[in-house]
Amino acid sequence: MTTSNYATERETTEGKVFTVTGGDWDQVVSGTDPINDERIVVNMGPQHPSTHGVLRLILELEGETVREARSVVGYLHTGIEKNLEYRNWVQGSTFVTRMDYLSPIFNETAYALAVEKLLGVTDEVTERATTIRVLMMELNRISSHLVWLATTGMELGAINMMLYGFREREYILDIFETITGLRMNHAYVRPGGVAQDVPDDAIRKIRDFLTLMPKKLKEYENLLSGQPIWIERTTNVAVLDVTACLALGVTGPVLRSAGLAWDLRKTMPYCGYETYEFDVPTHTDGDVWGRYLVRLAEIRESLKLVEQALDRLKPGPVMVSDKKIAWPAQLAIGVDGMGNSLEHVAKIMGQSMESLIHHFKLVTEGFRVPPGQVYVGIESPRGELGVHAVSDGGTRPYRVHYREPSFVNLQALPAMAEGGLIADVIAGGASLDPVMGGCDR
């Protein structure tokens, strides 16, 4: 008679417990777990379209069910925050704009607001510059949500939505190019104001867009909202209630789709948002369907804000008057993008030597920022985008750290995915709208 090396399993409040004195683990559990050898580990990524970059998901599957999910980030790391320590305060704008590349205007504005707060010139930023910032941010919010709608539609089988979303986004990128000289990575919002004024041609294009976009939104809803497959793939999928959102630090449309109307434009206003008329859309189900409805509604609210900003654009300067802070360039858009106008270069060269030296020092060294530290938060398309800036009194940042919503919101992916189907990982992950350029900065 042979004796077993293993004691029998026993049930506890934590589940089945095995007391093992030797042997192979698979043999221990094979008698009681008929599918113990059917769990497989799948690497989803690090290349996958729904993530707007390179995200790796390690999924442990039992059949079609996700038992464990882990997010692995860092594949797109650029070291932008560290690079800021080796550039002057104005040059920082050209770095931060490249982080979340779908919402560059927000990266720039948050940075500029933080630098202005350190300088103590927040109240000196002109009304026209502030209004232009609001105008550009809300256009950027629309373009970002259009990319989310396009890519999520593609992930769930609505190929037409992919085409339509990017088609309308092109209108906005064309407006950005008219104003800044670039479609993306603008470095347009600078400490003290904006790089240059909005031309009349751009105003006309924005007016045309305000007429066009509401019609396109109705087309999207006709395409998706009543579509049985879309409803099936989004309703009660990747649910995250408001308690879980708060526990994980999730903000933005994901939080608002769970029922909490938390929007920094209302709760902690900046750039004069408290003087604008707009609503904060919410939903109560906390699923992919709710996030879809919230983002569509946010596009409509942004259109209202853009129209109000256009009506408020009064003539005036777009940079602070302090010449020790204001960037001395007079920019012009040429065939090769944006740079100094030749007339301004000739004017500088024709003035006194002292003027030329001052121009040279301000451009190469930059202005000095008083020592201190600040935190500024704004409402980006993905949630709270915060900047913690530290100055040691020099011409370069001592430290700049971003509270990036893509990075924080990705914590929610295991909570949304575990216990669900592998197909729903795509819908749930996409509904977070992570942009890995911001996550891996």
**How many domains does one find in the chain?**
2
Judge whether 43 lies within some domain.
no
Map tokens 């007339």 to a residue. Answer: 343
Judge whether 84 lies within some domain.
yes
Judge whether 137 lies within some domain.
yes
pLDDT tens profile 248-296: 999 999 999 999 999 999 999 999 999 999 999 999 999 999 999 999 9
pLDDT tens profile 385-397: 999 999 999 999 9
- What is the pLDDT averaged over residues 37-56? 74
Judge whether 49 lies within some domain.
no
Q: Give the pLDDT of residue 6.
A: 45
Give the domain extent around 164. Answer: 80-325+367-439
Q: Give the pLDDT of residue 356.
A: 73
C-alpha to C-alpha distance for 260 and 281, rounded to whole angstroms:
9
Apex 188 CA angle, 128 and 105, nearest 5: 90
Judge whether 391 lies within some domain.
yes
Long-range contacts of 181-186 (CB under 8 A, 24+ apart): 181/333, 181/337, 181/338, 182/337, 182/338, 184/101, 184/104, 185/94, 185/97, 185/98, 185/101, 185/104, 186/97, 186/104, 186/105, 186/108
Q: Are residues 20 and 88 in the same domain?
A: no
The CATH number for 142's domain is: 1.10.645.10
Judge whether 285 lies within some domain.
yes
Judge whether 346 lies within some domain.
no
Q: Are residues 108 and 12 in the same domain?
A: no
Q: Are residues 224 and 284 in the same domain?
A: yes
Mean per-residue pLDDT over the chain, rounded: 87
Q: Give the pLDDT of residue 24.
A: 66
pLDDT tens profile 138-196: 999 999 999 999 999 998 888 999 999 999 999 999 999 999 988 999 999 999 999 88
Q: Give the pLDDT of residue 110.
A: 97
Q: Are residues 15 and 122 in the same domain?
A: no
Q: Are residues 269 and 121 in the same domain?
A: yes
Range with lowest mean pLDDT among 10-14, 314-318, 403-407: 10-14
Judge whether 359 lies within some domain.
no
Q: Give the pLDDT of residue 39.
A: 75
Sheet holding 372-380, edge to edge: 372-380, 383-391, 399-403
Q: Are residues 208 and 293 in the same domain?
A: yes
